Amino acid sequence: MSARYPVLLDLTDRDVLVVGGGPVAARRATATVDAGARVTVIAPAVCEDLADLVAAGSVRWVPRGATGGDVLAGPGPGARWWLVHTATGDRDVDAAVADAAGRCGTWCARADLAQASSAHVPAVAAGPDGVQVAVSGGGDPGRAAAVRDAIGDLLATGRLPLRRTRPRLGSGTGRVVLVGGGPGDPGLLTVAGRQWLARADVVVTDRLGPVDVLAELDPGVEVVDVGKTAGHHPIPQDVINRILVEHAAAGRTVVRLKGGDPFVLGRGGEEALHCVAHGIPVEVVPGVTSAVSVPAAAGIPVTHRGITTSFVLASAHAGAGDALEAARSAPPGATLVLLMGLSSLARTAAELVAAGHPPATPVAVVSSGWTAAQRTVVGTLATIAEDVATAGLASPAVTVVGEVVGLREVLGDLAPVLPPRDPARHPPRGRVVGDHCPQ
């Protein structure tokens, strides 16, 4: 079979004829209806899927056998079919329909004999934002389906470049997408998060989360590093908010890549409100929160039957005040999960003891969870600050207070061993902008 010329058809409000009433004809009818066509089905009987289309008014059914004359007559006086599908299972009927289509210059796709068709229906992998990849198997439908499925998986997981290189017609304002990157392992980034990264024009990122994925970005993506470290915030939050709005207002798709979940002590709500206040469309892609996943990596479930069925999450940035406030309405024995605040750990532990927690309450501090640098120190409220200082643990860290910490002694680390990241070997592929702060 000679090489075919691939083309996409706009079937909106076009007349399409489907000959046949079986499952193959139903698939062809469904696809053309979805493409906006006016579809007529000619068949003595129809399968359940086609009957549903008829009942819904999506297709017109002519309940009889078809002939080549139906193709030549067209959908009405002076009109012609834009496309004909024939899938009767009767080779003589399919051949007659295809021959008539050829005589009146109409494309015809034969389901029984692709090489005898003037048109061929490929296997199609669909991605976000209108992306379609059509696959021809060279006359082998099984091969086409296998290749389609492989491409579809790459599209679904954001492994293929999906970023627009040409502005959408009529579009002025872009959008901001708040993507939760999870605790650090790129494997914990959601499929939706990867898709948006593959479509991004600008990625605003910091030191938390799966920074390794920046090496997978399209080279044309602008990467804005707004990283903060403990006690050192070179780019304040109001400037980050302004960066998001200014890029989106220029028509760009902006992904704000954040560690954990954007709405769990991640200031994602502030960024979303700022975008909405400035008329910028904003979406959120939840992430795997470090509040649960990092303790899990260290073999500590935050709830466990027979120990506790609830946990309290709070920031420890300013000591134990937020945790104590939240714990007042929690059941006795609830696990306390504290984010941030490693530098104030001694003060937090002392405040918890002063509030009535026994000094012997088990405590674990997990540093750099789900990365190659993950380390865990276990102690009690009376000893944990000194234990952490002796071990030299560094931020970011999650602190767990409660009897569930004891399960680590049996379970040990449950996160896979990750190779250390070498920024020199895996730099961001996009254009990294460091001091790019709008004034």
Q: What is the pLDDT of residue 142?
A: 86
Q: What is the pLDDT of residue 232?
A: 53
State the Cα–Cα distance between residues 196 and 193, nearest whole angstrom.
Answer: 5
Contacts with 36 (C-beta within 8 Å, 6 or more apart), sequence order = 11, 12, 13, 14
Q: What is the pLDDT of residue 157?
A: 79
10 Å Cβ neighbour count for 417?
7
- Identify the three-state secondary structure at position 13: coil
Half-sphere exposure (Cβ direction) of 204: Cα atoms closer than 13 Å: 29
pLDDT in tens, 392-438: 999 899 999 999 999 999 999 998 766 655 555 555 555 555 544 43
Q: What is the pLDDT of residue 153?
A: 87
Q: Do 197 and 217 meet the contact criterion of CB atoms below 8 Å apart?
A: yes
Residues of the chain under the 50 pLDDT cut: 435-439
Q: What is the pLDDT of residue 84?
A: 96
Q: What is the pLDDT of residue 106?
A: 93
Alpha helices in 300-378 (DSSP H): 321-327, 345-354
Q: What is the pLDDT of residue 417?
A: 64
Contacts with 170 (C-beta within 8 Å, 6 or more apart), sequence order = none
Pairing of strands 431-433, 397-401: unpaired
Name the amino acid, one letter, at 98: A
Closest CA to 11 of 30, 25, 24: 30
Q: Do 16 and 82 meet the contact criterion of CB atoms below 8 Å apart?
A: yes
Question: What CATH number is given for 299-411 in this structure?
Answer: 3.30.950.10
State the Cα–Cα distance between residues 257 and 438, nearest whole angstrom.
Answer: 19
Q: What is the pLDDT of residue 435?
A: 46
Question: What CATH number is given for 15-121 in this structure?
Answer: 3.40.50.720
Q: Specify the pTM.
A: 0.73
CATH superfamily, domain 175-289+423-433, is Tetrapyrrole methylase, N-terminal domain (3.40.1010.10)
The tokens describing 393, both together, are 């643990």
228 is catalytic: yes
**Among 15, 94, 201, 206, the one annotated catalytic:** 206
The tokens describing 228, both together, are 């903060």
The tokens describing 406, both together, are 């004891």
Token pair 């979940």 in the structure block, residue: 261
**Among 52, 90, 212, 228, the one annotated catalytic:** 228
Name the amino acid, one letter, at 57: G
Contacts with 384 (C-beta within 8 Å, 6 or more apart), sequence order = 345, 349, 363, 365, 377, 399
Sign of the C-alpha dihedral, residues 95, 96, 99, 104?
negative
Residue 194 region, left (φ>0) first, then alpha (ψ -120 to 50), else beta?
A: alpha
State the Cα–Cα distance between residues 24 and 47, nearest whole angstrom.
Answer: 10
Token pair 């940035």 in the structure block, residue: 317
Q: What is the pLDDT of residue 292?
A: 96
R_g over Cα of the chain: 30
Residue ranges, CATH 3.40.50.720, the chain: 15-121
Residue ranges, CATH 3.40.1010.10, the chain: 175-289+423-433
Q: Do 299 and 415 meet the contact criterion of CB atoms below 8 Å apart?
A: no
State the Cα–Cα distance between residues 126 and 14, nearest whole angstrom.
Answer: 22
